[in-house]
Structures are given as C-alpha cells and as structure tokens.
C-alpha cells in the first residue's frame, strides 16, 4: 500500500491498523505486536468488524499460515453467531489475502511482529454473512484476535489426525473442521475498539482551516511508569502562550473552534481536556488538579480531529477559559519500562 494514503488507528498496545480506501474497496494492513511468540506454523490471526462490538454478529477474516510448505497461506471468511467458534461463510469468501510477514524480536516491545495485509469490497454481495463497511459518520467496532491451531490429536492416532487436519487446510470443502482446529484465544488474545475508516474523508470535507491560530497543550517528554494504570495531569495557563496573548489583546472575543488530539504512544488509552474560567484557578498551576469543566474527551480509535459547527465556539480568555488540564490515562498491562510520551491536544 502507498504509505502516503494510509490512515492509522491502534487497538490497545498490541494491534495497529492502517488502511486505504477507494470507491468500492478497503485495503488493510494489520500489525500484531505479540508479547509471546506463537508456534512457527500452528497459529491463527483474526480481524473483523461487528455492529455490537462482540463476537455475535461479527464479520471476520481468519488467517492460517502455510503448513510445512504443503499448503498455502489461507484467509478464511467467517462470521460469528455465538460467543464461540466462528462459522465459515457459505455464500462467498470475500476477504482477500494480499500478504503476510513475520519478524522476530521486534525493537519496540513485542517478541514477534506479524503484519497481515487483506482487502474486501466495501459492500459485499454476501448480505447474510458479511457486514458492509459504511462511510461512518460514527465509529465502526473492530475486533482482532490471535491463537494457536490444534493440528494434532492424542495417543496413537496423533500422526494420522494431524495429517487429516493438515489436508483440511488445503481445500475449503474441509474447513467445516475449523472449529476443532482453532484453539480459543482467551481474554489475553483479543483486542477491540472503535475506528472511523472514513475519518480522513470527513476531515477533508469538514476540516479546520490550517490558517487558524492554535496552541499546543503538549507536555515535555514524560517517562511512563511500568505500572498497569497511570493517570497523569499536565497543566497549562494562557500566559504560557505569548502569541495567544497577543491575539487576545487584538480581539474582543476569541473562541475555540476545534481540537486535534495528538497521541504519540500506543500506551495512551484516553485523554481528557479540562478547563476553568476561574481567575484564581487560572492564575496558579498548583490548583489545576482541582475540579475543572470537562471540555473535550478522546480515546484510542476515536477521530483525532473535532470541529465545532460554524455557529458555535468556546470562549477563551476574558469571559472564557483561562487555564487547562490535560489528563492522560496510560494503560500498560504488561508493565513495560523505558517508554516516554508527549501526547496532548492542539
């Protein structure tokens, strides 16, 4: 895929999505940064979309790698009907495999990096088993999961059973046996979250003009603790921005007309922008940790730009907000050490 056309989103600290759209197709690059390596050949990777955000009613693609050079890499189009093994689509295999790569000892924080590239028509003809990928004014719920394959049996029949299951990978007519091949992923082998696939198009149509003045509520580099959950407050006053002070002097009224969220780390779970109109609170950064109005929330997978309607604005300065607090929630379930971050809001 042309990297200049990619839009990106992250699911937790494990999966990164990149995609590009044309008139009737989406192409996806899905990077699985797995903390523990899967077996060389006996594993699976899954990705899909879901109306409700869970397995039931989902439209999924399951990747199964080649086995002992006897089979090809396979991408299987399935759908979820219950909280369990998926059902293989009978009306058509619409997800298409473009490529797969695997890198050991990734330099970031994973033991293994799997990169999967797939594509699908935005509107499938398989209406009973596939979900359309809509021009989403709101978010689409996406799922990603991974696990191991059970190609072996038990006892004396192990070799024969393994050969039988290996052959089942060679032809779709045997893939009804998929349920007995996919080992459950469990709670540690899945991630999910909201994504706006058409965000760039919405931004281009409704985006904030580049010539608007702005301030960056962005802290200096912060060392993320190796704790599972960290909430960190970063405080800002209008006096921190001399150029803004000049704008406030030149205009009787100044309003905030939009926000751009600038997340720099996959460990950022969400950010909340708070503000105060109080002269006392706005004059002392030590007081910024007390109660303030919630102005703008953001979480991973949400749009990174939000623009107010042309008839609306949030007052700034005299008669408006005088100080801000950016509260960042870092989610570090594997307690990784050595990471720094400077996420914030423009």
Residue 93 has pLDDT above 70, yes or no: yes
Is the predicted pLDDT of residue 228 greater than 80, yes or no? yes
The reported pLDDT for the residue numbered 173 is 46
Q: What is the dihedral of CA 131, 134, 136, 140, to 10 degrees?
A: 20
Alpha-carbon distance 239 to 236, whole Å?
A: 8
Q: In whole numbers, what is the pLDDT of the chain averaged over residues?
A: 78
When mean pLDDT is compared across 39-43, 92-96, 227-231, 307-311, the lowest value belongs to: 39-43
Task: Please determine, for residue 83, whether its predicted confidence score (pLDDT) is greater than 70.
Answer: yes
Asked if the model's pLDDT at residue 106 lies above 50, the reply is no
Whether the per-residue pLDDT at 316 is higher than 70: the answer is yes
| Residue 117 pLDDT level (bands cut at 50, 70, 90) | very high
Report for 12-16, 59-63, 189-193: range of highest mean pLDDT: 59-63
Rounded (10°) CA dihedral 204, 26, 11, 180: 170
Instruction: Of 317, 326, 320, give the one whose Cα is nearest residue 345.
Output: 326
Tokens of 298: 């953001």
Phi, psi of 192 (to 5 degrees): -155, 165
pLDDT digits (tens, 9 = 90+) for 252-298: 888 998 888 887 677 888 999 999 888 777 667 777 778 889 999 98
Question: In this model, does residue 138 exceed pLDDT 70?
Answer: no
Q: Residue 247: its pLDDT value, please?
A: 87
pLDDT in tens, 16-69: 888 888 878 899 999 888 767 666 667 889 999 887 777 888 889 989 887 655
User: Which pLDDT value is given to residue 280?
Assistant: 76
pLDDT at 274: 93
pLDDT at 165: 56
- Predicted local distance difference test score (pLDDT) of residue 204: 43
pLDDT band per the 50, 70, 90 thresholds, residue 114: confident
- Please determine, for residue 154, whether its predicted confidence score (pLDDT) is greater than 70: no
Mean pLDDT of all residues in 293-313: 83
Ramachandran angles phi, psi of 52, nearest 5°: -95, -10
DSSP string, 254-278: EEE-EEEEE---TTEEEEEEEEE--
3-state helix, strand, coil in the chain (%, to 5): 15, 40, 45
Phi, psi of 163 (to 5 degrees): -65, -40
User: Which is higher by pLDDT, 249 or 71?
Assistant: 249
Q: Is the pTM value of this prediction over 0.85?
A: no
Distance of alpha carbon 28 from alpha carbon 178, whole angstroms:
24
Q: What is the pLDDT of residue 207?
A: 43
How far are the Cα atoms of 26, 28, 101, 262, 273 from residue 3, in angstroms, in the given order? 14, 12, 17, 19, 31
- With contact defined as beta carbons under 8 Å apart, do 230 and 330 qualify? yes
Residue 205 has pLDDT above 70, yes or no: no
Look at residue 175 in the predicted model and tell me its pLDDT: 56
The share of the chain scoring above pLDDT 70, in percent, equals: 77
pLDDT confidence of residue 112? 75
pLDDT at 41: 63
């Amino acid at each position: 895929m042309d990297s200049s056309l990619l839009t990106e989103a992250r699911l937790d600290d494990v999966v990164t999505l990149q995609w590009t759209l044309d008139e009737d197709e989406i192409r996806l690059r899905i990077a699985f940064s797995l903390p523990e390596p899967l077996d060389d050949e006996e594993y699976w990777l899954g990705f899909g979309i879901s109306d409700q955000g869970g397995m039931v009613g989902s439209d999924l693609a399951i990747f199964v790698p080649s086995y002992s050079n006897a089979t090809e890499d396979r991408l299987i189009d399935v759908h979820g009907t219950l909280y369990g093994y998926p059902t293989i689509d009978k009306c058509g295999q619409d997800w298409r495999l473009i490529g797969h790569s695997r890198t050991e000892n990734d330099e970031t924080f994973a033991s293994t990096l799997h990169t999967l590239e797939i594509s699908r028509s935005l509107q499938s003809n398989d209406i009973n088993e596939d979900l359309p990928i809509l021009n989403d004014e709101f978010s689409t719920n996406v799922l990603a999961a991974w696990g191991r394959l059970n190609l072996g049996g038990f006892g004396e029949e192990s070799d024969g059973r393994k050969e039988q299951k290996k052959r089942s990978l060679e032809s779709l007519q045997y893939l009804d046996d998929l349920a007995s091949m996919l080992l459950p992923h469990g709670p540690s082998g899945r991630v999910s979250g909201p994504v706006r696939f058409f965000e760039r198009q919405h931004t281009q149509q409704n985006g904030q003009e580049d010539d608007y003045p702005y301030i960056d509520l962005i802290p200096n580099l912060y060392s993320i603790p190796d704790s599972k959950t960290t909430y960190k407050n970063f405080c800002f006053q209008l006096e921190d921005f001399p150029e803004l002070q000049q704008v406030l002097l030149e205009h009787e009224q100044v309003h905030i007309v939009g926000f751009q969220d600038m997340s720099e780390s996959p460990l950022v779970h969400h950010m909340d922008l708070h503000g105060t109109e109080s002269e006392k609170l706005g004059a002392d950064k030590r007081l910024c940790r007390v109660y303030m109005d919630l102005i703008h929330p953001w979480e991973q997978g949400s749009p990174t730009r939000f623009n107010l309607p042309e008839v609306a604005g949030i007052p700034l300065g005299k008669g408006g907000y005088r100080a801000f607090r950016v509260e960042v929630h870092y989610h570090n379930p594997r307690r990784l050490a050595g990471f720094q971050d400077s996420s914030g809001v423009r």
